[in-house]
Amino acid sequence: MKSLCIYCGSRPGRDPDFIKSAQFIGEEAARRGLRIVYGGGKMGLMGVTAGAARDAGGKVFGVIPDFLVELEGILENVDHKVVKTMHERKMLMFEESDAICALPGGIGTLEELIEALSWARLGLHSKPIILYNQKNFWGPLKALFVHMIDMGLASKELLGDVIFVDKPEEIFAVMEKGKVSALA
């Protein structure tokens, strides 16, 4: 695995630990020679993650729709591509990555994550989908998945398509192993 797609907030969030973890993940990806693929903006957790990877000498590839360039800005001194639509953005980010990781984020992060998970459920890919469950951020989503299964609206295999990790170091351990089922 050589490339990690990061879904995360275009805002920093209220908890300073979110920023610290985003920075660690970017730096650790660079240290390990992993390219960060991200949404292209310079704001929030995504800007922190990509900027930390860049500043640590790592490779970064951003993909941003043209209508977000003025709103979010483009991180300087990283490879990037400006596309027309959000759909193009998500597809190119997906195509350019070997694994997907969601950090804390808002509705856009959730939408990107759910689409990648839906594609996995449909058998369109087998890339690891990792949720960094920092301070139980993704706990309510995990509970919703279990509820969907309990209600007979999703198969139990759904839980095998997503890997919840509680420490940022575990993201890289999952990547080293490839796709594994590890519902914590």
Sorting pLDDT into bands at 50, 70 and 90, what band is 177? confident
Spacing of C-alpha 41 from chain mean position: 14
Q: Is residue 47 part of a domain?
A: yes
For 54-112, the pLDDT digits (tens) are: 999 999 999 999 999 998 999 999 999 999 999 999 999 999 999 999 999 999 999 99
Res 181: pLDDT: 41
Q: Is residue 50 part of a domain?
A: yes
* Total number of domains constituting the chain: 1
Is residue 16 pLDDT above 50, yes or no? Answer: yes
User: What's the domain range around 49?
Assistant: 3-177
Secondary structure of 128-160 as H, E, C letters: CEEEECHHHCCHHHHHHHHHHHHCCCCCHHHHH
Q: Is residue 183 part of a domain?
A: no
Q: Is residue 72 part of a domain?
A: yes
Q: Is residue 184 part of a domain?
A: no
Q: Is residue 60 part of a domain?
A: yes
Q: What is the mean pLDDT of the chain?
A: 94
Q: What is the CATH number of the domain that holds 68?
A: 3.40.50.450
